[in-house]
Amino acid sequence: MRRRFPAALFALVLIGCTANAPLGDPELPYPPPQAPRVGDVLHLPTGFYVDRQTLLIHASEARVVYVGETHDNPASHQLQLEILKYLQEHNPEGVALAMEMFTPLQQPSLDRWIGGDLSEKEFLEEVGWFESWRMDFAYYRPLLAFARERRIPVIGLNAPSHLVEALGRAPVEELPEEAVAELPDLDFSDPYQQAFVAAIHGGHESGRVRRDAFLRIQTLWDESMAENLATYLRSPGGRGRQVVVVAGGNHVRFGFGIPRRLFRRLPAPYLLVGSKEIEISEAKREMLMDVQVPRLPMPPYHFVAFTRYEDLPQSGVKLGVHLREGDGCVAVAAVVPGSAAERAGLRAGDGLCRLDRVAVKKPFDLVYELKQRNPGDQVVLGVERDAEVLEIEVDFADPGTTRDDE
C-alpha cells in the first residue's frame, strides 16, 4: 500500500539523513572527467576544464584577482604575468599589481622603480631584497620588469618586519601601546585558518606556543595585506583600478586569508586563481612539507592551472666568504672550507675592492655582482693584502654546495 507524506516532512527527513554526511567532496564538488595534465585549467566549482582564454576573461571581470603562488616555481610566476599582461592589454590605464613581497615602507622605492629612476641594482639595494624576501630575484624579474615597462603601479602589501617580530614574541595584549597603534584590525577567530595552522604545527602540546605565535603572525600578514589593499583601492590612485594580487598560496587558497579580510573592509568582486604542481622531480619532492591539511567545506580556488614544478635556469655563484664592512673595500671575515674562495687562495683579512671592472665598496656590491655570474664563469678580484694590491682569479667551475654570506 502506497503512502503519501507532506512535502515539508519529506524535506525534513532528507535533511536529517544527510546533515552529518555531506554529498561529494566540498573542495571538488564536481570531479573532472579525466585526470589533469600540465597546462590544463580547471574551474573547480563546476568541474569543467576550460581554455586559458576563459580564465583570462573571468579575470578581466573581477575588481581583485588573487593569484596564489608557489614561491620557487617559475611556472607559477608565469601564470601571474600572463594574467597581468591580459588585463593591462584590455585596460591599459586601469591595472595595478599588489605584492606580498613588499611593505608600504618600501613604496617610495617601488614608485621610483616603476618611474624608471632606479637601476635593478639600486632598486634591490633600496628595498633590501636579499635580506627581506631572500628568494632569487629571477623569479620576480619578468613580472616587475613588465610593470616597469608599462608603468603599472606596484603596491607593497605586507606587514613591516618589526611588527611581525613583536607579534611573534607576544600576544597583542602584551605589546607596548606604540606597537598596538600600528596594528591593523586583527581577527584571530577564523576556524579554517586555525585548523590550517594547527595542521602545519601538529597537535602536540609542546608545539602550542609556536603554533599560537604562527597564528598571530599569519593573521597579521593577512590582515595587513587586506588593510593596505583596501587603503589603496579607496585612494585617488587606486579608485576604479583592477588589482592583481600576487601572494603565497596559503594567503589566497580557500579565501580565508587576504580575500575574506579584504571583503570585510571593501566588498569588491574578486577571483581566486591558483596553480597546482602535478609533475614534480624527486629533488623537489624532498623539499616539500609533509602536512596532512584538513578538509575544508569549499573549493580552494575558482580556477586552478596545473603545472610542472620547474627550476630556474641556474644562475648566481657562491664565492664562499663571510663579509664585514671595510674601509673603502669589503673585508673578508672568514673563508668557507672547500669553497671557490679557498681554492683561489683568499684569506681572512683580505680586502675585496673590485670584481672584474666593478668597484666593491660594500657587501651588496659583491652580492649583486655574484648573482649576475653563472657556474663555469671566472672573475678577477682586486684584493688588498698586507699593503699590497693583488689580482686573484676565481674559477666557479665547481660551485659546490656551501652556504655562506657571500
- Write out the chain in H/E/C secondary structure: CCCCCCHHHHHHHHHHHHCCCCCCECCECCCCCCCCCCCCEEECCCCEEECHHHHHHHHHCCCEEEEEECCCCHHHHHHHHHHHHHHHHHCCCCEEEEECCCCHHHHHHHHHHHCCCCCHHHHHHHHCHHHHCCCCHHHCHHHHHHHHHHCCCEEECCCCHHHHHHHHHCCHHHCCHHHHHHCCCCCCCCHHHHHHHHHHHCCCHHHHHHHHHHHHHHHHHHHHHHHHHHHHHHCCCCCCCEEEEEEEHHHHHHHCCHHHHHHHHCCCCEEEEEEEEEECCHHHHCCCCCCCCCCCCCCCCCEEEEEECCCCCCCCCCCCEEEEECCCCEEEEEECCCCHHHHHCCCCCCEEEEECCEECCCHHHHHHHHHCCCCCCEEEEEEEECCEEEEEEEECCCCCCCCCCC
pLDDT of residue 11: 47
303 and 333 share a domain? no
Q: Is residue 14 part of a domain?
A: no
The reply to whether 10 falls in a domain is: no
Asked whether residue 257 is domain-assigned, the answer is: yes
Per residue in 288-307, pLDDT (tens digit) is 766 677 889 999 999 999 99
pLDDT score for 381: 97
Q: Examine the domain organization and report whether 285 and 342 are in the same domain.
A: no
Q: Are residues 114 and 142 in the same domain?
A: yes
Series of mean pLDDT values for 10-residue runs along the chain (406 residues): 48 50 87 96 98 98 98 97 98 97 98 98 96 92 98 98 96 96 97 89 66 95 98 97 97 97 98 97 78 87 97 88 90 96 96 96 94 93 94 81 41
Residue 169 within any structural domain of the chain: no
Domain's final residue, options 308, 341, 365: 308
Whether residue 228 is found in the same domain as residue 360: no
- pTM of the complete model beyond 0.85: yes
Same domain as 270, residue 133 = yes
| Residue 209 in domain | yes
pLDDT confidence of residue 12 = 44
The last residue of one of the domains, among 308, 330, 350, is: 308
What per-residue confidence (pLDDT) applies to 21?
Answer: 64
Burial class (CB in 10 A: 0-12, 13-18, 19+), 265: middle
The CATH number of residue 219's host domain is 3.40.50.11550
Could you read off the pLDDT of 74-89 as tens digits, one per residue? 999 999 999 999 999 9
- Domain shared by 81 and 123, yes or no: yes
Statement to judge: residues 262 and 364 lie in one domain: no
How many folded domains does the chain comprise?
2
**Domain end marker among 308, 332, 362:** 308
Residue 401 has a pLDDT of 40
Are residues 339 and 282 both part of a single domain?
no
The angle formed by the CA atoms of residues 208, 210 and 214, to the nearest 5 degrees, is 115
Identify the CATH number of the domain in which residue 368 sits: 2.30.42.10
Instruction: Indicate whether 30 belongs to any domain.
Output: no
- 236 and 363, same structural domain? no
Instruction: Show the CA angle centred on residue 245, arms to residues 210 and 367, nearest 5°.
Output: 70
Provide the pairing of β-strand 330-335 with 64-69. unpaired
Q: Note whether residue 171 is domain-resident.
A: no
For residues 397 and 40, give the distance between their C-alpha atoms in angstroms, rounded to a whole number.
39
Considering the domain architecture, whether residues 45 and 130 belong to the same structural domain is answered as: yes
What are the CA-CA distances from residue 387 to residues 175, 341, 351, 383, 384 (Å)? 52, 20, 10, 10, 6
- What is the model's pLDDT at position 6? 53
Task: Give the residue numbers spanning the domain of 216.
Answer: 41-161+190-308
Whether residues 79 and 157 fall in one domain: yes
Cα separation, 347 vs 7, in Å, equals: 88
Q: Is position 173 within any domain?
A: no
134 and 92, same structural domain? yes
